[in-house]
Structure 1
Amino acid sequence: MGSNKQYDGYRAYEYLEAGTDFEPFEFQDEPHFFGDPCEIELDSADAERADALSDQCEIVSMHEHAFYFPKEMDAVEDYARQGRAFTAYDALAESTLDAVFDWHFDGVLRMHSRNGWKWTEVIHDLGMRAADVEKQDLVIRAKSIDDIRRAHDEGKVAIVPSVEGCMMIENEIDRLDVLYGLGVRALGVTYAESNALGTGGRDEHRDGGLTTFGERCVERMNKLGILVDPSHASDNTTLDVCAVSEDPVVLSHNGAKALLDISRLDPDPVIEAVANTGGVIGIQSAPHNVASPDHPKHTIESVMDHFQYVEELVGIDHVSFGPDTLYGDHRGLHQYMGKDYSKYPDWQTIEFDYVEGMENPTEAWHNIVRWLVREGYSDEDIRKVTGGNVLRVLETVWD
C-alpha cells in the first residue's frame, strides 16, 4: 500500500485529557527534527519505479523506535518516568512501511529505576502502548504474517512488539511465555550488559558466551515462536545462539565490524553464522554506529557501504534493514544515555547532528528504496531486502 495509509488523524493518548490524565510534553511538529527531509535524487523514470515498488512490496523494518521523544533532551528523564511513550501515528502514516518491529528499550524503560529493565517496567510499557493502539485504526499489533499482509492490503501499519534484551526475566524462564502472551514476537538476548542468559556486547573483553540458562531460553523461544535476536550480545554469545537455535536467528540492527571496528558491530564469522541458520542481518543507521572509511560522516551512503559488504559476504537472501531510527534527536538521546565514542576510530571524530537521508523511519524507508533503484538492483532483489527476506524467516519462526 506504500504511503497511501488509511489514517484519520488520531494522536497518541487522544482518548485522555492532557494535563489532567498525563503530563504533556512538547514534540516536533513534523517527522524531521533537523529541518527539511533529504531525498535520494532520481530521474523521473527511476522515481516512478521507486514509488511503484514502495507501493507493491511488503516493506518490513527489522528495527525501529516508532514513537516521539521530547523536543528537548533535558525532558527525556521525566518522559521516561511517566511511562507513556507516544506512538508517532502521523509520521508512520506518511511512511511506506507496512510493518515495523517496534523495540522497547531502556531509553524509556525507566519508570521505576534509573537503570531500567525491571519486569514491572517492561510490562507497563507493553501494556500502555497496547492500550493506546486499541483506541485507533491505523496501527495493528502483529502476531502473525497474515497481520503484516493485511496491513499492506488495507493501508495500515503492523507493529510487532519486541523487547531488546532479557534482563527483566531474571532467572524466570516462564516469563518468556508471559511476554509471548502479551504479544511480544521478538526478543533480544542481551542489551549490551551481560545478564543471566549470556555475555553482553559491552563485556566482550570477558566473553563467556551463552549460559546454560541462556540455552534453555533460546530453546523456549523456539518453542513459543519468538524471533531470537542477539544484536547486542557478545560474539561468542551470538555464535552460541546460532548453534543452539533450531530456528533462524536474526541480527535486527547491526553492521560490519570490518568497516568500523567497534564492539557494537559484528565480525565476518558472526555474520556468516547468523546467515547459516537461515537468518537475516538488518543493517542499522543509528548515529556513529555504521560510518565507514569511505563515508566517515555518517549518512545513508555509509549505511549502504555496510549493506553491500554484508550482501557480498553472505548473499542477498540474508540481508535487510533495521535502521534503528526514531522521531526526535537520536544523537542527543545517545548522549543522554551516556554513549561513549572515545574508542571509535580516529577517522570517525567528525561532528554531525543526524544521519543524513535516514533521520527517522519515514525518511529512511523512502530513501532505502530510492537508493536501491539508483544503484540498479532488480525488482526481485529490492523485494527481498525490503521485507521478503524477513517474511521468509517469520514463516519458519512464527508458524
Structure 2
Amino acid sequence: MFAGAAPLAAQFPSDSSEPLAHARELLRETPLVDGHNDLPWRVRELAAGDFDSLDIAVHQDSLHTDIPRLREGLVGAQFFVSYVPADLIGNGAARFALMQMDLIRRMVERYPETFVFVTTADGIESAHEAGKIAALTGLEGGHAIEGSLDVLRTFYDLGARYMTLTHWASHAWADAATDEPRHNGLSPFGELVVREMNRLGMLVDLSHVSDSTMMDAMRISEAPVIYSHSSARALDNHPRNVPDPILRRLSENDGIVMVNYSPTFISQEVRDWAVTRDSLVDSLRQAFTIVDVTAPDSMVVDTAGLRQAVAGWTETNPAPRAHLEQVADHIDHLAQVAGIDHVGFGSDYDGIDAIPQGLEDVSTFPAIVAELLRRGYSDEDVRKLLGQNFLRVLRGAEAVAERLQQEMDPIVATIPP
C-alpha cells in the first residue's frame, strides 16, 4: 500500500517491542501536531479555569491531558481549542470564547518551561527544536464571532489559527452535520467568512459541518482546509465523519483530515449502540414526564427516574469498546482515499467521554505510531502523518494570506448573531 510496506512488516512482527521504540525515535525527530484537545474546557468545567485547583504539572486522574503525559506522549504541538457551547448562540458566545482564550494564555504563562504560544508553522518547528511544546489555539464554533467579521479579525489577532465553522448546531451563516439545515451549506455571509479567513491566514476547519457546508467551503477557499477532529464515514456512518466523495476532493484543495479518537466516530458498533441508547432516552423521557407539583398546570421530567431507567438498561446492555486498531483502520482508509499527504491526528482528548482501548490519554501517541509501523507505513509516511502534512497545510494558508493581503482590503460585514 505505502512505500516500504513489506520490509517494515517483516522488520516489526506484531509481538515485537521494536516498533514502539522506533515510534518514539520518530516522535523525537518530527513534531507531532495534534489538531484538537479540549483541556481548556475541562479546566473550566472542573476547576472554574483555576490552575491552582487543577495543576496540570502533575498527573490528574480527571483529565486525559497533563504535562507529564504530554511529555511521555512526545507531543510536539497541541491545538488547545476555545470550545464555545452551541447553546450560547446569540447569548454571550464571544465573551465565553475570550474567556477560554485567556485561560489558554494563562496556562502557557504558568508553565513556561513546557509551553510556548505559537501562531505559525515556523513557530512549531522552533518550539520543537527548543524542547518545548508548541501551544496553538483555534475557535470551535463559528457562532463565537457573533455575526461579525470585525470579531473574527480580533480572534485572529489574539492567536486563533483555525475556526471550526459550526459546532453541533446550525447557526446564522452555516449548517452543522448534526442539526437541521438552514442554508443548504453556507449563507452569503458564510462565504464572506471563509474569504476573510483566507485573507487573514486562519484555517477553515470543517469538522462538525454538514456535507453541503463542506462542499461550499472547499469550493470557495483559496487556502487548504482542515478537519481538525474527524474520521472516515465509510468505516463509521456518523454525520460528523467525512464521506469518501469529499475525501477524494481533498487533494485538489491540499487539505488534511485529522483523525478523531471518539469511539462513536471510529466504531460502527459503538455508534449503533449510542443510537439505540439515545432512542431509548427519547422514548423514556415521555414516560417519565409528570405533573409539576409546584405548578400543576405544567409538566416536568422525572430526571432521577429517567436516569435510573437508563442506567438499568446500560447495565444489561453495556457499551462496546473501541480500540486502537480501529483508529489505525481509519488512518488506513483516509490515506487510501484522500492520500497519505492529507491525513493527521486530531485526538479530541478531554473532549470525549469514552476512549479507545490502548489510547487512554495523551501519553499513548507512541502506541498508535507503533501500530502504523507494524502495518507497513514507512518512516517518511509516518513523519507526514505526525506533523509534516499539517505544517505544509499551515504554510499554504500563510502563503495565501500573504498574497490576498496585497490584493484586497479587510472585508467589512456584520449580521445578527
Q: What's the TM-score once normalised by structure 2's chain length?
A: 0.72
Aligned counterpart for 2:102 among listed residues 127, 133, 154: 127
Which has the higher mean CA deviation after the structures are superposed, 86-95 or 120-129?
A: 86-95
**Aligned partners of 1:163 and 1:187 also within 8 Å:** yes
* 1:52 equivalent in structure 2: 25
Aligned counterpart for 1:105 among listed residues 80, 83, 97: 83
Aligned counterpart for 1:64 among listed residues 22, 37, 42: 37
* 1:29 equivalent in structure 2: none
* 2:247 equivalent in structure 1: 271
Compared with structure 1, are the counterparts of its residues 205 and 169 closer, same or farther at alpha carbon in structure 2 (3 Å cutoff)?
closer
Aligned counterpart for 1:95 among listed residues 73, 86, 93: 73
- Provide the alpha-carbon RMSD of the alignment: 2.7
In the aligned structure 1, how far is the partner of 2:208 from the partner of 2:222? 20
* 2:126 equivalent in structure 1: 150
**Aligned partners of 2:118 and 2:135 also within 8 Å:** yes
**Aligned partners of 2:226 and 2:257 also within 8 Å:** yes
- 1:258-337 counterparts in 2 under 5 A? 258-292=234-268, 297-326=321-350, 330-331=352-353
Which has the higher mean CA deviation after the structures are superposed, 213-222 or 299-308?
A: 299-308
Which protein has greater RCO, CA pairs closer than 8 Å, 6+ apart? 2
Q: 1:161 Cα shift?
A: 0.8
**Structure with more of its chain in helix, by fraction:** 2
* 2:369 equivalent in structure 1: 369
**Aligned partners of 1:58 and 1:387 also within 8 Å:** yes
- Give secondary structure in 1 for the equivalent of 2:163: strand
- 1:128-207 counterparts in 2 under 5 A? 128-137=103-112, 138-203=114-179
Please state if 1:226 is matched with 2:202. Answer: yes
- 1:332-347 counterparts in 2 under 5 A? none
Compared with structure 1, are the counterparts of its residues 359 and 207 closer, same or farther at alpha carbon in structure 2 (3 Å cutoff)?
farther
Q: 1:192 Cα shift?
A: 1.8
In the aligned structure 1, how far is the partner of 2:199 from the partner of 2:253? 16
In the aligned structure 1, how far is the partner of 2:143 from the partner of 2:241? 21
Aligned counterpart for 2:185 among listed residues 209, 212, 223: 209
- Give secondary structure in 2 for the equivalent of 1:250: strand
Instruction: Tell me which amino acid in the other structure corresponds to 1:125.
Output: Q
* 1:386 equivalent in structure 2: 386
In the aligned structure 2, how far is the partner of 1:128 from the partner of 1:294? 33
- Give secondary structure in 1 for the equivalent of 2:129: helix
* 2:396 equivalent in structure 1: 396
In the aligned structure 1, how far is the partner of 2:197 from the partner of 2:89? 28
Instruction: Tell me which amino acid in the other structure corresponds to 1:187.
Output: M
Instruction: Tell me which amino acid in the other structure corresponds to 2:366.
Output: H
Q: Deviations over 1:330-383 (max 9, x none)?
A: 32xxxxxxxxxxxxxxxxxxxxx53111222222x1212111111121110000
Q: 1:271 Cα shift?
A: 2.0
Q: 1:225 Cα shift?
A: 0.6
Instruction: Tell me which amino acid in the other structure corresponds to 2:373.
Output: V
Q: 1:65 Cα shift?
A: 2.3
Q: 1:140 Cα shift?
A: 1.0
Q: 1:205 Cα shift?
A: 6.0
Q: 1:127 Cα shift?
A: 1.2
List alignment gaps of at least 5 residues for structure 2: 1-12, 57-65, 272-319, 400-417
In the aligned structure 1, how far is the partner of 2:182 from the partner of 2:323? 33
**Aligned partners of 2:230 and 2:259 also within 8 Å:** yes
Q: Deviations over 1:298-348 (max 9, x none)?
A: 111111211111111121111112111129xx32xxxxxxxxxxxxxxxxx
Instruction: Tell me which amino acid in the other structure corresponds to 1:250.
Output: I
Compared with structure 1, are the counterparts of its residues 45 and 133 closer, same or farther at alpha carbon in structure 2 (3 Å cutoff)?
closer
- Give secondary structure in 2 for the equivalent of 1:276: helix
**Aligned partners of 1:259 and 1:293 also within 8 Å:** no
Aligned counterpart for 1:254 among listed residues 209, 215, 230: 230
Instruction: Tell me which amino acid in the other structure corresponds to 2:36.
Output: H
Q: 1:148 Cα shift?
A: 0.6
In the aligned structure 1, how far is the partner of 2:270 from the partner of 2:381? 24
Structure with greater Cα Rg: 2
